[in-house]
Amino acid sequence: MKGTVFIVDDDDAVRDSLCFLLKTVDLASQTFTSGEEFLQNYDEEMNGCILLDIRMPGTSGIEVQKKLQELACKLPIIFITGHGDVPMAVEAMQSGAFDFIQKPFRDQELLDRIYQALEAHEADEEEASKEREARNRYSGLTPREKEVMEFVVKGAANKVIAIDLGVSQRTVEIHRARVMEKMEARSLAELVRMSMLLED
């Protein structure tokens, strides 16, 4: 599985034991002793998920979550909570946390959540990279090609487009071919999917 598990916990033993456990299933991890340390080292290129202790001296887990949201961080967060932290965990979930797990936990329970988080992030990333590519290609279209693409993805026939735009059907056909080429769409269905990504 791709991606790194970023472990943020102030307790040395908990942190190191998590790192040890993840190593036995060949999951890469990186540890941070505080919310501040993680925020200082955070960059957009990070890939994986965050295992975040909810109760830490200094910046709490909840505060780390808020700061990361301000940075538009998309890494899924799994909160580690203790006895009696349920109200905080609920708050975290409402703010968009991926999941939470209560200490002490069964290893399989934790690993399942981590796998789910990594998969979710991978899917997110794939979606995001497709969107980035689509935008990139779209920006290479001429204004006229963009107009034609708008008609095409709505299912308009070349004849209709030609009348609407006041050009010949042949011209529409050329524009259409250029759109498919520039957008690297192998089929109309693919072009429609890309146009949907662009709408968001």
Partner 1 sequence: MSASSIPTEDPNVRFSQLDSLMNAMVDAFIVIDGSGNIERFNKAAEDMFGYAADEIQGQNISVLMADHDRAHHDKYISRYRKTGKKKVIGVGREVIGRRSDKSEFPADIAVGEVRGADGSLHFIGLVRDLTELREAQAQSFRQRQEMLNTSRLSTMGEMAAAMAHELNQPLSAIANYSAASLRLLKNENTDLDTIKEALEQINNQAHRASEVIRRTRDFTRSTETRREMTTVPDIMREVLPLAELDAHANNIALEVDIADNLAGIEVDSLQIQQVLLNLLRNGVDAMQGVEPEFRRITVSALYSAPGELSIVVKDQGEGISAETAEKLFNPFFTTKNTGMGMGLAICRTIAEAHSGSLEFRRNPDRGVSFVLKLPTKATG
| Contacting positions for partner 1 (CB under 8 A) | 11, 13-14, 16-18, 20-21, 23-25, 55, 82-84, 103-107
Of 12 and 127, nearer to partner 1 (C-beta) is: 12
DSSP tag of 194: H
Q: What length does the chain have?
A: 200
DSSP tag of 153: H
C-alpha–C-alpha distance, residues 102 and 92, integer Å: 13
Q: Minimum distance from CB of 87 to partner 1 (Å)?
A: 13
Q: Minimum distance from CB of 58 to partner 1 (Å)?
A: 16
Of 67 and 103, nearer to partner 1 (C-beta) is: 103
C-alpha–C-alpha distance, residues 146 and 63, integer Å: 43
**Helix, strand or coil, per DSSP, at residue 50:** strand
Name the residue type at position 170: R
Q: Minimum distance from CB of 60 to partner 1 (Å)?
A: 14
Of 14 and 160, nearer to partner 1 (C-beta) is: 14
Candidates 52, 49, 71, 67; CA nearest to 8 is 52
Q: Minimum distance from CB of 10 to partner 1 (Å)?
A: 9
List of E strands, 26-74? 28-32, 48-53
Of 83 and 186, nearer to partner 1 (C-beta) is: 83
Other C-beta atoms within 10 Å of 44: how many?
10
Of 7 and 191, nearer to partner 1 (C-beta) is: 7
Q: Minimum distance from CB of 20 to partner 1 (Å)?
A: 5
